[in-house]
Structure 1
Amino acid sequence: MPGQVSQTEFRNAMARVCAPVNVVTTNGAAGRGGFTATAMCSVTDDPPTLLVCMNSRSAQTQLFLENRRFCVNVLTGEHKDLAAVFAGREANMAARYAAADWIVLRSGNQALADAIVSFDCSLTQANLVGTHHILIGEVAEIRSRKDGQALLYFDRNYVHVPTQIGSFGG
């Protein structure tokens, strides 16, 4: 039955789900923005498409919707401070970007130079569901590196899990 699960119960349950930490960026006519997100996943590989969820109350929401493009940068354990900066520890966007090295992609978006992988996307759909927009993007460009361990979010903490798994290469 709808309405049987409280917000607190749902949030506490979702805290038990491990998720990769990403910095999502945009750059275009509406301006430059960026935020930290754990709600990101693949949608399909034909065409390559992913989704990311963004709080609709964010002051940056309109930037992302108007620019119609975004870049998902998957972070490593070394990016814990950067994740906090883009999560709101630093309100000034220029200061957020000054905290790391960036590469300008063909689209104009900025990719984190040492991200495990960066997915540059063209926004194809934005759907408002409750408090969040689901941004669906077709992947136009991918940058990746062969080393590094993902920064994860679990139990309301940043963690990283050492792994022996290698890269599939490209």
Structure 2
Amino acid sequence: MDISVNHAPHIIPVIDRQAFRDGMSRVGAAVHIITTAGVAGRAGFTATAVTSVSDDPPTVLVCLNRTGRTASVLTENQVFCVNTLAAAHQPLADVFAGRGGLAGEERFGHGEWDSLATGAPALVGALVAFDCRVVDFRPVATHQILIGQVEAVRLGPSQPALLYAERAYRQL
């Protein structure tokens, strides 16, 4: 029996953009509001592309669209806070996702905000708030990968988390 090994370079087929988006919609994730404040002002957006990188030093990663206003504000401010939302925060998630037409500072008229170590807005009542200083920005395709070292953590009340899967909010 002859067993042949194909030594041809691995060819990745072209993936249909919509098929990719449909597939990713099935990957459930926690919903967060990423906020910033500083010389460029306050801004924030709703995100699900958030993960821990390391606990030594404590570091998190956030992905955001490079063309949005918040990307330039974050770049200038160099600080951000990851606010993990409870199920009851769904209306606030919509506000920071741009639903309702509010932008920039106007969004902070919703919810109760204070700050931790960096001055970035921290949502009072969030499941957890990770207050971070930017240590790296990496452009990848249409997005910017933002890496931040955590300078403060505030644990909020234990309650059901707000999730997003299959293009809809869910609860855990």
Q: Same fold (TM over 0.5)?
A: yes
- Residue of structure 1 in register with 2:128 after alignment: 117
- Check the 8 A contact 2:125/2:157 in 1, yes or no: no
Task: Tell me whether 91-100 or 130-139 shows the greater mean CA deviation.
Answer: 91-100
- Secondary structure of 1:42's match? strand
Q: Deviations over 1:67-123 (max 9, x none)?
A: 111000000000101000000123332321011001122311110001000000110
Task: Say yes or no: does 1:43 pair with 2:53.
Answer: yes
Task: Say yes or no: does 1:128 pair with 2:133.
Answer: no
Where does structure 1 lack aligned partners over 5 or more consecutive residues? 162-170
Q: 4+ residue runs of structure 1 moved beyond 3 angstroms?
A: none
Q: Which has the larger radius of gyration?
A: 2
Q: Deviations over 1:21-42 (max 9, x none)?
A: 0000000011111000000001
Q: Deviations over 1:8-67 (max 9, x none)?
A: 111110000010000000000111110000000011111100100000110221100111
Identity of aligned residues (%): 44
- Secondary structure of 1:85's match? helix
Where does structure 2 lack aligned partners over 5 or more consecutive residues? 1-10
How many pairs align?
Answer: 161
For 1:157, give the aligned amino acid. Answer: A
| CA RMSD across the alignment | 1.1
- Check the 8 A contact 2:117/2:151 in 1, yes or no: no
From 145, 153, 159, give the equivalent of 1:148.
Answer: 159
For 2:108, give the aligned amino acid. Answer: Y
For 1:109, give the aligned amino acid. Answer: A
TM-aligned CA distance change 1:101 to 1:146, over 3 Å: closer
- Check the 8 A contact 2:126/2:157 in 1, yes or no: no
Task: Say yes or no: does 1:138 pair with 2:126.
Answer: no
Cα distance between partner residues in 1 of 2:96 and 2:116? 20
Task: Say yes or no: does 1:55 pair with 2:65.
Answer: yes
- Residue of structure 2 in register with 1:105 after alignment: 116
